Amino acid sequence: MAPTQEELERRRIVRVEAERVLDVTSTDFPGHYPGEDHAWDLGEFRKRSKVQLHKANDLDYEFDLIGVDASVANAFRRILIAEVPTLAIETVFVHNNTSIVQDEVLAQRLGLVPLRGDKKGFQHLRWRKKNTEEPAAEATDFNTVVMALKVACTRNHAAPPTETDPSKLYFNSSVYARDIKFTPQGRQPHWFAGAGEIRAVNPDILLAKLRPGQEIDLEMHCVLGIGQDHAKFSPVATASYRLLPSIKIKQPITGEDAEKFVGCFPSGVAEVQTDKRTGEKKAVVVNPRKDTVSREVLRHDEFKGKVELGRVRDHFIFSVESTGMYNSDELFLQAVQILKKKCIDFQEKLLES
């Protein structure tokens, strides 16, 4: 017997009560209920699954992924954090470092500086194999990007005797990420030209401070890598999701109680509206996605039995913050392609066995 629409809606909600959370898991397998046919159907999946965009700029991206299981949503999250390849400084050759920052500390700091450049140029780069005697382990223009950092601090003799600001007393008293210069090799001048040359995403990252007579002279080799090898290769600062909050008013909340009800939620979640016909004030939920599910409303006796809190089981609000190599909206598409390739590889392995 097919479930009713009311039953299907009930299954989508994880109920939140004052002291407990109910219906977190209700079946042995996601989306399976005994006595019902839940065979996977492409047409049904296309009809049920949606991606809704809510905010997009170069670094921040927020979208809703609807109609999939938590395992699929979490797969995208993990791929975004650990499996989208990016470029980062891997090896630092120190020619001279007389700053107070030790060589290994400076190298670690440089490795964490996010880099960006022409995205089409990155398509020419290949993985560089390590700990192997194969030719691919050698540094070439196809697997290694060379950067240089050479800064020396000198005294500004034109500064007034009473000046105390180091930026005016000295030249190059601070070393920033903007001082890292791209040194193209082989065919790289054609791949990363003009505005597309490889550079630090944020030029104002402070790397070290110098005083007259101190100098930093380095050569850095950048390679492709993924976040599961080292956090410096992760393309995102954060990639997280949360379930869409559900707030159902089961009985009308009016008058002073309506004002109190609105105050139980963050700004923008609910509001008091006036009935044009009767003039009565009534509480209405306008944007549940802004709610933090604090359960404050459940602590008041006047709202008992009048409101039901929950979260929508298959509605995920994703928040992605890019480190800058890729625009935030490109990262999710990259994750989709990587998951697709994993599925194809798995299918091929099954056919081989």
| Cβ-contact 189, 208 below 8 angstroms | no
Same domain, 146 and 51: no
Distance CA 5, CA 325 (A): 45
Q: Which residue has the tokens 């080292």?
A: 230
pLDDT for the residue numbered 133: 52
- Counting the structural domains of the chain, the total is 2
Residue 85: per-residue pLDDT: 94
Q: How far apart are CA 178 and CA 182, in angstroms?
A: 10
> Is 58 found in the same domain as 141?
no
Q: Which amino acid type is present at position 204?
A: D
Alpha helix ranges (H) inside 56-176:
70-82, 103-111, 119-122, 166-169
Classify residue 173: in a domain, yes or no.
Answer: yes
Q: Are residues 56 and 101 in the same domain?
A: no
Domain with 223 in it: 86-234
CA separation for the pair 188, 197 (Å, rounded): 9
Could you tell me the pTM of the whole model? 0.87
What is the per-residue pLDDT for 1? 64
List the chain pLDDT tens, one digit each, 353 residues.
677 888 878 888 999 998 999 888 766 676 677 777 778 788 888 888 999 999 888 899 999 999 998 999 999 999 999 999 999 999 999 999 999 999 999 999 999 999 999 999 999 999 875 555 554 468 899 999 999 999 999 999 999 999 999 999 999 999 999 999 999 999 999 999 999 999 999 999 999 999 999 999 999 999 999 999 999 999 999 999 999 999 999 999 999 999 999 999 999 999 999 988 888 899 999 999 999 999 999 999 999 999 999 999 999 999 999 999 999 989 999 999 999 999 999 999 999 87
Provide the token pair at 330: 């490109």
Phi-psi region of 325 (alpha: psi -120 to 50; beta: other; left: phi over 0): alpha
The reply to whether 95 falls in a domain is yes
**Is residue 191 included in any domain, yes or no?**
yes
**Helix, strand, coil shares, percent, the chain, to 5:** 30, 30, 40
Say how far apart CA 218 and CA 148 lie, in whole Å: 6
Contact 87, 145 (CB under 8 A): yes
Does residue 202 fall inside a structural domain?
A: yes
- Domain harbouring 202, CATH code: 2.170.120.12
- Predicted confidence at residue 137, as pLDDT, reads 64
Are residues 24 and 50 both part of a single domain? yes
Q: Are residues 133 and 57 in the same domain?
A: no
Q: Judge if 136 and 202 occupy the same domain.
A: yes
